[in-house]
Structure 1
Amino acid sequence: MSIAIVTDSTASVPADLVDRHDICVVPLQVVMGAQSYDEGVAGGVTPERLAEALREWVPVSTSRPNPEEMLAAYERLARAGASAIVSVHLSAELSGTFESAMLAARKASVPVHPVDSRQVGIGTGFAVLAAAEARDAGADVDGMVAAARSRADATTSLFYVDTLEYLRRGGRIGAAAALLGSALAVKPILEVEDGRIGPRERVRTAAKALARLEELAVEAAADSPVRVAVAHLASPERAVQLAEHLTTRLADGLEGRAVLVGEIGAVLGAHVGPGMVAVCIAR
């Protein structure tokens, strides 16, 4: 039985791993001004262009793939020989993408098993890779789904933002709204908890926030084998420095694996704004 794997563009799976594991990526859309672009495709919005638009207060919004687009991806895979599909997506609490997958699955010509990762960004990506690795090791659909959910449940996603304004505008701030009253006086560290974005800690400066982000990542690793990723938007120096520190401090748990470092895509970037730095620890 040939089992295909589908995810969405917010999962931020590096291109070489997408190719290696033959993962189908369905794009979300970002709307800048009056123009809509698919994320992660040629001619789309680059992170640099997005950051510039946000700084200039150009109206930016995002949208999920509709069920028909998701179904079209499933049917392409079925025609290519897939007998079943595992479809892993970002948290249903933050996007309607999982709902689109559920609706499309009902109409697909082969069995489709949607998985709500309850994560965002590479937190979802690590769950996708867990499913791929399970398949490569001989697991069936149930084993792949279990592997994705287990990895997602054991993942800690933390991030720092220069301002909560972009999250507030997009309606994704959730419990972190409690921080808004003093947003100018603090630098918030946020986390993904049970599929939602909420506040973890407040510190007074960006330097202290990044140092605390490092300490929280080390605590989350807890001397276990881990996979680690650092993401950013228009803040490469901060991201590289954090990755270097974690490479050293978590060397035993990394077991020779590199800390992934990359700039997030336009869809997530639209909600966090320039200066964001995130760290994801998957156990």
Structure 2
Amino acid sequence: MQIGIVTDSTSSLDPDDALREHIEVVPLQVIIGAETYTEGDDVTADMIAEALAAFVPVSTSRPTPDDFLAVYERLAADGAEAIVSVHLSARMSGTLESAQLASKQASVPVTCIDSAQVGLATGFAAGRAALARDAGEDAAGVADAARQAGESSSVLIYVDTLEYLRRGGRVGAAAALIGSALAVKPILTIEDGAVVPLERVRTKAKALARLEALAVEKAEACDDGFDIGVQHLASLDTATAVAGRLATALGREEVSVDEVGAAIGAHVGPGMISVTITPR
């Protein structure tokens, strides 16, 4: 059975990787001031960081059902007999809802998966779906592979401030107050598809050290290996240093470092560092 795999641009998939693994990526829209841009096309994370620093309003918009339907029908025309569509947490975006609405009109069966994650964890889930497809799994098996990857992933996030998440409604106002009090630096995680505070640390240096320690604990608990990646917004040097220390601690040659896409960047703000671990 020929199975198409679709995800959205928050999955942080490298375009070359998506092409090689035959994963279709549907972009979100990013609004900076009065201008609307398409993620992965004409907007960069650097543009987001600059706009946020200048207090220019930044927001995001989910793909429409028609956007998804056009991709589903193109895959069907190319021979797909079923499609698995893997997306960021429904608690953070209406993207999954758009995919579900489109699936009802598609000419082939479409299974929509809530990864209950965001960023690289959603990308890893889409990648696991591709591996399952290439191993000969049917649509149900491909969907289960994506779902399990999302459920088992750990995402650890350091942010300089919770202000940007608070503005976008991605974390509660009480958490924002806790994070700002006494210059506490928050470590966040994804729990049940939502961003929640995990720990509070006094300084950035201590917060990053704790982030690394937690990531090593999570990785070492994976009995059959794991995928890992570091993401950042406008903090390449810090992210590279974190990745280097993680590689040393885990006995790896390297840990990949990528800048988050514009849609995620709009909500986390400059200075964000995250580590994603997905068991194999």
Alignment of 1:216-227 (within 5 A): 216-224=214-222, 225-227=225-227
* Aligned: 1:248 with 2:251: no
Q: Residue 59 of structure 1 corresponds to which residue in structure 2? A: 57
Supply the AA of the counterpart residue of 2:265: G
For structure 2, the residue ranges without an aligned partner over 5 or more in a row are: none
Q: TM-score, normalised by structure 1?
A: 0.95
**1:47 CA displacement:** 1.1
Distance, in Å, in 2 between the alignment partners of 1:35 and 1:57 is 15
Q: Identify which of 162, 177, 180 aligns with 1:180.
A: 177
The correspondence of residues 4-15 of structure 1 with structure 2, limited to 5 A, is 4-15=4-15
Distance 2:237 2:205 in 1: 12
Could you tell me which residue of structure 2 aligns to residue 239 of structure 1?
239
What is the DSSP-based 3-state SS (H/G/I as helix, E as strand, rest coil) of the residue aligned with 1:107? coil
For 1:178 and 1:51, the matched residues in 2 are separated by 22
Out of 259, 268, 271, the residue aligned to residue 267 of structure 2 is 271
Spell out, residue by residue over 1:204-231, the C-alpha distance to the aligned partner (whole angstroms, 9 max, x if none).
Answer: 1111111110001011113421110100
* 1:133 aligned to which of 110, 131, 142: 131
Say how many residue pairs are matched: 276
Query: CA offsets per residue over residues 177-204 of structure 1, 9 Å max, x none?
Result: 3341451521100000110000000011
Q: Given that residues 6 and 88 in structure 1 are in contact (C-alpha distance below 8 angstroms), is that contact kept between their aligned partners in structure 2?
A: yes
Which residue number in structure 1 is paired with residue 67 of structure 2? Answer: 69
- State the Cα RMSD in Å: 1.3
Matched, 1:261 2:245: no
Aligned partners of 2:13, 2:248: CA distance in 1, in Å? 23
TM superposition shift of 1:106: 0.3
Structure 2 SS opposite 1:183: helix
Query: Partner residue of 1:159?
Result: 157
Tell me if structure 1 keeps the 8 A contact 2:163–2:176.
no
Distance 1:228 1:152 in 2: 13
| SS of equivalent to 2:196 | strand
- State the Cα deviation string for residues 219-268 of structure 1 (Å, max 9, x = none): 111342111010000000111111111112122xx6x7x52210001100
* Greater Cα offset, 68-77 or 93-102: 68-77
Over 3 Å counting, the alpha-carbon distance change for 1:182 and 1:154 in structure 2 is closer
Aligned-pair identity (%)? 59
Alpha-carbon distance in 2 for matches of 1:223, 1:156: 11
1:227–1:259 Cα contact (<8 Å) kept: no
Return the match for 1:150 from 139, 148, 151.
148
Q: Distance in 1 between the 2:25 and 2:179 partners?
A: 39
1:81 aligned residue (72, 79, 82): 79
* Match in the other structure for 1:194: 192
Letter in 1 for 2:45: P
1:136 shift after superposition: 0.9
Query: Structure 1: which 4+ aligned runs deviate by more than 6 Å?
Result: none
Deviation at 1:11, TM superposition (A): 0.3
2:158–2:211 CA contact under 8 A, matched in 1: yes
For structure 1, which runs of at least 5 residues remain unmatched after alignment?
A: none
Match of 2:97 in 1: 99
